[in-house]
Chain A
Amino acid sequence: MSGVHRPVPRPSPETVPFWEACQQERFLLPRCSQCGSFWFPPTAFCPECWSPNWDWHEATGLGSLHSFVIFRRQYHPAFVTPYAVGVVHLKEGPNILGRILTNDFEKLHVEMPLTLMWDRAEEWVIPAFQSF
């Protein structure tokens, strides 16, 4: 489909390092040096204790399915329906949105274990999830 482009991220200054790591297939989460919390999306201060001291931590990519939906109506020409989108509860704590890549929607269920995989689109490498 020439001329049909997938939407791509428009990173903020706080999220540039996250996306740069994704390009190298590394999944980084911010972790607070003061209270130990992980959070997402990346921000300048820890949203739990407001500490400015934190670092990027390579996450396991493991999680469970918090909830999911299956798009049937086509909203964007580059996203061919049906496809699944879910919120994944990461082992480290945060909940994150992502595509759930599967051809068998019947097998999707809340709380199922998932693992990270990489979804390539328009020169971008975007985190997605699949059954573990």
Chain B
Amino acid sequence: MSNPNRTLSGKYAIVGVGQSDLGQVPGSSSLGLLNEAMHNAVNDAGLSKPDIDGIICRGPDDVYTHHQRMGELLGIDAQFSTTLDNGGASQILSIILAVMAIDAGMCDVVLCGYGRDSWSRTHRDTTARMSVPLVPPEQERSEFNAEMGMFGAVGMHALGASRHMALYGTSKDHLGSIAVAFREHALRNPAAQMKQPLSMEKYHSGRPIVDPFNMYDCSLVTDGAGAVVVCSAERAKDLRQIPVLISGFGTFNNLRGWYYDEHMTDTAARRSGGKAFSMAGIGPKEIDTAQLYDCFTYMVLTQLEDYGFCAKGEGGPFAMSGALGLDGALPSNTSGGQLSEGHVEGMLQILEGIRQLRHSYGPDRQVSDAQWALVSGHGGNTVCHSSLILQRGGA
């Protein structure tokens, strides 16, 4: 197993963050949302268009030349640009690739982002809900899938939860405690899609989707985009915001598949996280806040174990203990996460990690004296993973 080069730890920084309108944004488009987020990120950094010479992004699966379209909209000819294809793991990967590209002398200041008009595509009305697939049919597996009744990401992830429950005694209460904790965070976030409280009783009465998941185990369908600006820590010193240093990163992809071996319960997060901790020179105990990829409640539970915040099999009791709350042992998904803030394929988790380290919030939302944040990305329908460890810079 190789680990990322430790000399890169802290050498690059995130200096700007931006997001678009979030939630139900009628009339929005994926490219338009990302354009808005990217403008906001560059403005936040105190930079301007001529400073940007790299673009790495991802959009919906039916747009194959996303970075080209974004460069055209932004009016930027880039020294380095590309579109990534690791699902929800792409967004952290875009930051990793930005560091690699800048370090290799390919470019200097990179805009990374993701946007999709998911709600407008599939949930704007009953017709769209029944007939418009989020993933184009030609991207789906052509056999050993739908003919056996398997549809969508919910079923795939529910398989993981079901096995974890059988192996480790994980319960619906355990999964529910994650949904309840993140909803509580969302109520403190004015931009969050979900505005209603969620009790454990209400969680258990949620509409069944694919057992063991009900609707509250599943992330939201969201129109939205997020973007960040990456450059050297040296350059960051002269910029507007408190820099957030990229201290560690890692990736691991269980490409043999979700069905293979124990991949459902020993996810790629374990080895991806190991690389990131190794590069940063810290361990799970040093992390002040985690922003974990929560496409489904179960993915949070297994990541708590896979990242080493608790032992394998202890993710449920760890979550039930209140650890994920703002005053808990590991305040997690403090903006509400994809379960309650909005699902922008991990981009909002990156933004929240940065805002916590900037100490952007008042006491109702701020993780006290946050110095280190872990952010995770998971996708490609269960097999791809990326990890990011961020440190508050300046001082």
Residues of A within 8 A of B (CB): 6-12, 15, 19, 41, 47, 66-73, 75-76, 79, 82-83, 85-87, 95-99, 105, 109-111, 121, 124, 126, 128
Residues of B within 8 A of A10 (CB): 142-143
- Which residues, 249 to 295 on B, are CB-close (under 8 Å) to A? 256, 259-260, 264
- Give chain B nearest CB distance to A41 CB in angstroms: 6
How many A-B contacts at CB < 8 Å in the complex? 91
Residues of B within 8 A of A (CB): 142-152, 154-155, 158-160, 162-163, 166-167, 207-212, 256, 259-260, 264
Q: Which residue of A lies closest to B163 (CB)?
A: A67
Whether the pair B259, A41 counts as a contact (CB closer than 8 A) is: no
Whether the pair B209, A68 counts as a contact (CB closer than 8 A) is: no
Q: How far is the CA of A69 from the CA of B154 in the complex (A)?
A: 10
Q: Which residue of A lies closest to B209 (CB)?
A: A73
Using A69-B159, A86-B159 as known contacts, list a sample of 10 further A-B pairs with CB atoms less than 8 Å apart, ordered by residue number in A. A6-B147, A15-B143, A69-B211, A73-B210, A85-B148, A85-B149, A96-B259, A99-B148, A105-B211, A128-B148
Whether the pair A97, B144 counts as a contact (CB closer than 8 A) is: yes
Whether the pair B147, A75 counts as a contact (CB closer than 8 A) is: no
- Find B148's partner among A73, A75, A97 (CB 8 Å cutoff): A97
Q: How far is the CA of A83 from the CA of B167 in the complex (A)?
A: 23
Secondary structure at the B interface, as helix, strand, loop or mixed, is mixed
Known contacts A8-B147, A9-B144, A124-B147; decide if A71 and B163 are in contact (CB<8 Å): no
Whether the pair B143, A11 counts as a contact (CB closer than 8 A) is: yes
Whether the pair A110, B210 counts as a contact (CB closer than 8 A) is: no
Q: Which residue of A lies closest to B150 (CB)?
A: A85
- Find B155's partner among A8, A66, A71, A82 (CB 8 Å cutoff): A71
Whether the pair B159, A68 counts as a contact (CB closer than 8 A) is: yes
Q: How far is the CA of A19 from the CA of B147 in the complex (A)?
A: 12
Whether the pair A110, B143 counts as a contact (CB closer than 8 A) is: no
Q: Which residue of B lies closest to A128 (CB)?
A: B148
Whether the pair A67, B152 counts as a contact (CB closer than 8 A) is: no
Q: How far is the CA of A36 from the CA of B171 in the complex (A)?
A: 39
Q: How far is the CA of A75 from the CA of B151 in the complex (A)?
A: 7
Q: How far is the CA of A95 from the CA of B166 in the complex (A)?
A: 17
- Find A7's partner among B147, B158, B162, B256 (CB 8 Å cutoff): B147
- Give chain B nearest CB distance to A104 CB in angstroms: 14
Residues of A within 8 A of B146 (CB): 7, 76
Residues of B within 8 A of A95 (CB): 259-260
Residues of A within 8 A of B210 (CB): 69-73
